[in-house]
Amino acid sequence: MKVLIIGGVAAGPKAAAKIVRMKPDAEVTIIERGVFLSYAGCGLPYYVSGEVKEQKDLMSTPAGAVRDAAFFRNVKNVKVQSGTEALEIDRAGKRVHVKILATGEDAWLTYDTLVLATGASPVIPPIPGVEKKNVFTLHAVPSATTIKTMLATEKVKDAVIIGSGLIGVETAEALVAVGCNVTMIEALPQILNMLDWEMARFVEQHMVAKGVCLLTSTKALALESDEDEAVVARVKTEKESILADLVIMAVGVRANVDLARKALLEIGTTGALKVNDRMRTSDPDIYAAGDCVECVDRLTGRPAFLPLGSTANKQGRVAAINICGGDEKFPGVLGSTVCKVFDFCVARTGLTEKAARQLRYDIVTASVPGPDKPHYMPQAKSILMKIVAERNTGKVLGLQAVGPGDGSKRVDVAATAITAGMTLDDLANLDLCYAPPYSQAMDNIITAANVARNKQDGVMDGIPAEAVHEKLEAGEDFVFLDVRSPQEHAQVRLPKTTLIPLGALRKRLGELPHDKEIVTFCQASLRGYESALILKAAGFSRVRVLDGGVAMWPYEKET
Amino acid sequence: MKVLIIGGVAAGPKAAAKIVRMKPDAEVTIIERGVFLSYAGCGLPYYVSGEVKEQKDLMSTPAGAVRDAAFFRNVKNVKVQSGTEALEIDRAGKRVHVKILATGEDAWLTYDTLVLATGASPVIPPIPGVEKKNVFTLHAVPSATTIKTMLATEKVKDAVIIGSGLIGVETAEALVAVGCNVTMIEALPQILNMLDWEMARFVEQHMVAKGVCLLTSTKALALESDEDEAVVARVKTEKESILADLVIMAVGVRANVDLARKALLEIGTTGALKVNDRMRTSDPDIYAAGDCVECVDRLTGRPAFLPLGSTANKQGRVAAINICGGDEKFPGVLGSTVCKVFDFCVARTGLTEKAARQLRYDIVTASVPGPDKPHYMPQAKSILMKIVAERNTGKVLGLQAVGPGDGSKRVDVAATAITAGMTLDDLANLDLCYAPPYSQAMDNIITAANVARNKQDGVMDGIPAEAVHEKLEAGEDFVFLDVRSPQEHAQVRLPKTTLIPLGALRKRLGELPHDKEIVTFCQASLRGYESALILKAAGFSRVRVLDGGVAMWPYEKET
């Protein structure tokens, strides 16, 4: 069996290794356009920041062996031709036309099975000046190394990042770490479009606190120069021109499907390569895996383009098993994502509120802030969490978690729960590990499920911060009731509030009007909820609880 | 509605608060024998170590309010009578006979619904001398405070802990932290009986490295004194007498069921109070929750006594909902447990190999060591993981994780997967969050599932360290083949091995005998597995792979 694999970064080498393990006689060859093999692309921002010390760390095994062509030959029994570009697939002849870049020589390589692991490439937006010097993407080892060298040898004061996805925010942290003034430009009204806007807002506030100049709803119009026309010096936007010794283009990636398209393989609606759940393309002898393919969203059944190293590895394994005569399915993805943004862990899985509403789900959401460990433990850190579930069935649809606390654990639990079709009730009674150094007795995700259940059952009538903010902006006449302690109120306040601490509320009911709406809140919302119940029991009819309390108020607060 | 709750620590206050939220008119009274209410019992070791600074931190809300009787009255509308012991339940008369401890007065309190949240008490083994001064349990605030005071004011050099469960190991860390010489005595051959023996062995090695003197398979026979007969000075064992200025008895807890037993309520086979899945006892007007009740193991359906604060809180909520006319089930537990042992996170859920074999499951296991983040990230820490699954169905039965890395995340994912009845295949394709600061592209739990699948499919023929050790002890003639690099081999070695690095194996096959069994291994076991496949392909018939490699060899290693 002769297997030819195009692409040597993640899915390709994974498939190759697994094929050779399953069929030791298989003749497996990897064609890679670049020089570097099997490297950790997701580690590049940490290489730029200096956290990862050496380039070779990104392409070594845990035991310290560099995964080069000799490694693949001796250890894996896989032949690798790097610096070799695939030009064309001859499906009828089952062969691939390749060019050796160094010499310009070409050749035809035959295959019994072909695997396309061609990856994705950064999108370069059509902005005048993108070709100038010191304008980079951060996608592969060479660009990372160039950026790192430039940071080490030239005076780079001002850096501008265009785009605010995963690579954008991770690079922002890396560039701040090495001492740059960093400006991030995003055309949309929020960063990290994978989050609901208010969740993204908390991340934005953190980035600003860490010194990043953030320009949302801002388009980069051109990259301008000073004396030297070839070198970037400024990024022009509608509002201003921003100094830029260095520009990183991070507006997203696009699947590399030219080769497949030319070979008339089916392309999906997302623009990535279409495969079935066996990772087979429309040609039964051609498989594909990794960043070049389109996935299925496990929750909605819709096509999704979510290129990630985790998915690439799993798909490479699935493709290999099927190529070797096994029967393995890749069931799809949920959009589980995590990234570190300075001191924040930003994680999500499944659907955001926005996505769920667009898909016309009837939903209930709960916004629940809280420490990731009991508050009395010195290492406790806060997580702002938002859960989305289907109203009728209680089926969990999504979870977002941002903050310094360990949100990735809770999002992984949610991803598992969503995969299993669990409901809020199921989540609420999960037997999760508890000890003070690791978690609260009622884990954050359990509390989130319980709050959502209270809303689902109509026991708690929540109101999103956005709706309250609109009321305030419109000058609407309602009581915005803070039931925290006077000390908490003195520290930080929401606008135009009335303070009656929960412990005094039963005695001071007379101070509240029966003819106005009352919106209650506290720091998180338990006391806000309890006060709403007290008010309802006392005959107040229009009482709602601010979702997420002070902790998750995304607008300005008074201090 | 008049609800009387006996017990004011975890399940009791939780039930009280929820009842009042659901039925604001309910008259809810908590009877508590002690003075402290709603405190974090699981935080006591961290109070002793000084990590938690003040006693009141353990019984305060996140906003800083101390949960005392006034708090319960004003904020929660719950009446609390502390320092009050329940003596007897008159089920026919629906009343409880109580005694106010300070005055000796007694009274009968009536109820419509009674909730027993009487908790559990430390088992005091019948060792001569347990009544001596400076012999403690660490179970409630007063004992913790006494220990802390003693550590602060008297010279405590030598401390002995009898028992090695959760409280035992957490207390060992606390006492080392304050500078004691700590000896731990355990009658069983291993500590932490909730783990398989070899997993416990890794924890034992870590505790010894941290300075704890560990005596397993050792019984404490008596607590002895020097001049002052009333004060403990030594713990006598079969082998030696150990100096002890302080002794902590940590041999486990027993459900407090005297009151229930006297009232002829049904007691379960574990000795804890029997309840149905609505948390109702054999008397329809009496509910129970928390450490005093028997749970159902969700996996096996068998009764289990696993008293934990997390379970107590969930059960208190479920009891409250049913008391208020709702219909809520508590589905049981999986034995999910985590504890911090110095720098190790020790976590487990579901069945150990030992428990699964006792229950006659036909199982497959995989022992998989690995970093919790990509090895190139400086903050990566190791996890030693063991997964247990049913051989035929692939149903995940249990996961254990020990080591400095974040095992609790993976165990929580496993607990969710086991709850959902997921298989190894399901686990292997979970869409878990991936970014280098948080996880590997193929998360440890996914790798563990894949290794177990390879064993399940017969592709990988594993051999446990224990079986190899027996071969070595018996002087059996086999090849113990180390396929790591010479550098790795020079650093640390298993006994009596032959070294052929994987990269050279194909060329050096002639050095290996065809008539002997070959057991291959590397650091983790991927290379061990790959070498076994190479050997099998080359016609070697008796080849097995050491489970977990060097990293999970629980015996002595050569350095």
- Whether residue B346 contacts residue B43, with contact meaning beta carbons closer than 8 Å, is answered with no
| Nearest chain B Cα distance for residue A77, angstroms | 9
A293 plus A144 within the same structural domain: no
A149 plus A236 within the same structural domain: yes
Over residues A99-116, the pLDDT tens digits come to 999 999 999 999 999 999
pLDDT at B468: 98
Amino acid at B426: D
Rounded Cα distance between A127 and A187, Å, is 13
pLDDT at A50: 93
Which of B416, B455, B492, B523 has the most A C-beta neighbours within 10 Å, making it the best mutation to test the interface with A? B416
pLDDT at A63: 87
Instruction: Please check the confidence at residue B317 and state whether its pLDDT lies above 90.
Output: yes
Average the pLDDT over A30-53 and give the result.
93
- Choose one of A456, A478, A501: the last residue of a domain: A456
Residues in B touching A530 (Cβ below 8 Å):
21, 75-76
Task: Determine, yes or no, domain membership for A300.
Answer: yes
pLDDT at B525: 87
Over residues B51-60, the pLDDT tens digits come to 999 999 999 9
Residues in B touching A57 (Cβ below 8 Å):
376
Rounded Cα distance between B333 and B336, Å, is 7
Instruction: Assess B166–A contact: CB distance below 8 Å, yes or no.
Output: yes
Instruction: Please check the confidence at residue A185 and state whether its pLDDT lies above 90.
Output: yes
- Choose one of B275, B294, B323: the last residue of a domain: B323
Instruction: Assess B395–A contact: CB distance below 8 Å, yes or no.
Output: no
Over residues B509-537, the pLDDT tens digits come to 999 999 999 999 999 989 999 999 999 99
| Nearest chain A Cα distance for residue B17, angstroms | 9
A63 plus A32 within the same structural domain: yes
- Whether residue B99 contacts residue B84, with contact meaning beta carbons closer than 8 Å, is answered with yes
pLDDT at A383: 98
Owning domain of residue A547: 462-552
Over residues B437-465, the pLDDT tens digits come to 999 999 999 999 999 999 999 999 999 99
Task: Determine, yes or no, domain membership for A69.
Answer: yes
| Nearest chain A Cα distance for residue B156, angstroms | 25
pLDDT at B63: 87
Amino acid at B482: D
Task: Determine, yes or no, domain membership for A334.
Answer: no
- Whether residue B156 contacts residue B245, with contact meaning beta carbons closer than 8 Å, is answered with yes
- Whether residue B277 contacts residue B297, with contact meaning beta carbons closer than 8 Å, is answered with no
Residues in B touching A426 (Cβ below 8 Å):
419-420
Backbone angles phi, psi at B376, to 5 degrees: -80, -10
Q: Which residues 40-99 on chain B approach chain A with CB closer than 8 angstroms?
A: 40, 42-43, 46, 51-52, 57-58, 60, 62-65, 71, 74-77
Task: Determine, yes or no, domain membership for A15.
Answer: yes
Amino acid at B221: L
Greater confidence (B371 vs A155) lies with B371
Of residues B46, B430, B524, nearest to A419 (C-beta) = B430
**Which residue carries 């929401």 as its tokens?**
A494
Rounded Cα distance between B248 and B135, Å, is 6
B114 plus B166 within the same structural domain: no
B439 plus B526 within the same structural domain: no
**Residues A377, B422: C-beta atoms closer than 8 Å:** no
What does the CA dihedral B409, B415, B418, B422 come to, rounded to 10 degrees? -30
The SS3 of residue B454 is helix
Over residues A334-361, the pLDDT tens digits come to 999 999 999 999 999 999 999 999 999 9
Which of B373, B376, B406 has the most A C-beta neighbours within 10 Å, making it the best mutation to test the interface with A? B376
Q: Which residues 269-298 on chain A approach chain B with CB closer than 8 angstroms?
A: 298
The enclosing H or E element of A296 equals strand A295-296
pLDDT at B377: 96
- Return the DSSP state at B293: B
Task: Answer whether 0.95 is exceeded by the pTM.
Answer: yes
Residue B500 CB coordination number (10 Å): 20
ipTM: 0.97
Rounded Cα distance between B253 and B309, Å, is 13
CATH number at residue B505: 3.40.250.10
Task: Determine, yes or no, domain membership for B540.
Answer: yes
Per-residue DSSP letters for A206-258? HHHHTT-EEE-S--EEEEE-SS-TTB--EEEESS-EEE-SEEEE-S-EEE--H
Residues in A touching B339 (Cβ below 8 Å):
435
Which active-site residues of B does the annotation give?
A: 42
Number of domains within chain B: 4
pLDDT at B154: 86
B110 plus B258 within the same structural domain: yes
Closest chain B residue to A337, measured at CA? B433
Closest chain B residue to A331, measured at CA? B429
Amino acid at B364: V
Over residues B218-261, the pLDDT tens digits come to 999 999 999 999 999 999 999 899 999 999 999 999 999 999 99
- Whether residue B548 contacts residue B554, with contact meaning beta carbons closer than 8 Å, is answered with no
Task: Determine, yes or no, domain membership for B44.
Answer: no
Rounded Cα distance between A386 and A365, Å, is 7
Instruction: Assess B169–A contact: CB distance below 8 Å, yes or no.
Output: no
- Choose one of A251, A267, A296: the last residue of a domain: A251
Q: Which residues 94-153 on chain A approach chain B with CB closer than 8 angstroms?
A: none
**Residues A335, B431: C-beta atoms closer than 8 Å:** yes
Per-residue DSSP letters for A130-178? TTSBTEE---SHHHHHHHHHHHHHS---EEEEE--SHHHHHHHHHHHHT
A13 plus A115 within the same structural domain: yes
**Chain centroid to CA B475:** 37
**Residues B504, A434: C-beta atoms closer than 8 Å:** no
Instruction: Please check the confidence at residue A255 and state whether its pLDDT lies above 90.
Output: yes
**Residues B406, A409: C-beta atoms closer than 8 Å:** yes
Which active-site residues of A does the annotation give?
A: 42
| Nearest chain B Cα distance for residue A487, angstroms | 10
Residue A46 CB coordination number (10 Å): 27
Q: Which residues 500-539 on chain B approach chain A with CB closer than 8 angstroms?
A: 502-504, 506, 522-524, 527, 529-530, 533-534, 536-537
Q: How many residue contacts between A and B have a Cβ separation below 8 Å?
A: 286
Over residues A421-450, the pLDDT tens digits come to 999 999 999 999 999 999 999 999 999 999
> Beta A286-288 vs A113-116: how paired, if at all?
parallel
Rounded Cα distance between A173 and B239, Å, is 59
Rounded Cα distance between A46 and A66, Å, is 19
Task: Determine, yes or no, domain membership for B225.
Answer: yes
Calculate ∠ Cα A113-A115-A118, nearest 5°: 155
As a whole number, the mean pLDDT across chain A is 96
- Whether residue A390 contacts residue A357, with contact meaning beta carbons closer than 8 Å, is answered with no
Buried b (16+ CB within 10 A) or exposed e, A298-336: bbbeebbbbbbbbbbbbbbbbbbbbbbeeebebbbbbbb
A351 plus A451 within the same structural domain: yes
| Nearest chain A Cα distance for residue B292, angstroms | 17
Which of A329, A431, A457 has the most B C-beta neighbours within 10 Å, making it the best mutation to test the interface with B? A431
Report residue A133's pLDDT band, with 50, 70 and 90 as the boundaries: very high
**Residues B40, A374: C-beta atoms closer than 8 Å:** yes
A221 plus A234 within the same structural domain: yes
A146 plus A75 within the same structural domain: no
A115 plus A204 within the same structural domain: no
Token pair for B215? 């005596």
A538 plus A436 within the same structural domain: no
Instruction: Assess A330–B contact: CB distance below 8 Å, yes or no.
Output: yes
Report residue B282's pLDDT band, with 50, 70 and 90 as the boundaries: very high
**Residues B308, A52: C-beta atoms closer than 8 Å:** no
Of residues A309, A485, A502, nearest to B434 (C-beta) = A309
Rounded Cα distance between B164 and B159, Å, is 14
A129 Cβ contact list (under 8 Å, min separation 6): A135, A222, A223, A224, A225, A232
Residue B87 CB coordination number (10 Å): 14
Rounded Cα distance between A522 and A502, Å, is 9
CATH number at residue A420: 3.50.50.60
Rounded Cα distance between B71 and B39, Å, is 13
**Residues A436, B21: C-beta atoms closer than 8 Å:** no
What does the CA dihedral B221, B227, B230, B234 come to, rounded to 10 degrees? -30
As a whole number, the mean pLDDT across chain B is 96
Task: Determine, yes or no, domain membership for B389.
Answer: yes
Residues in B touching A417 (Cβ below 8 Å):
416, 420
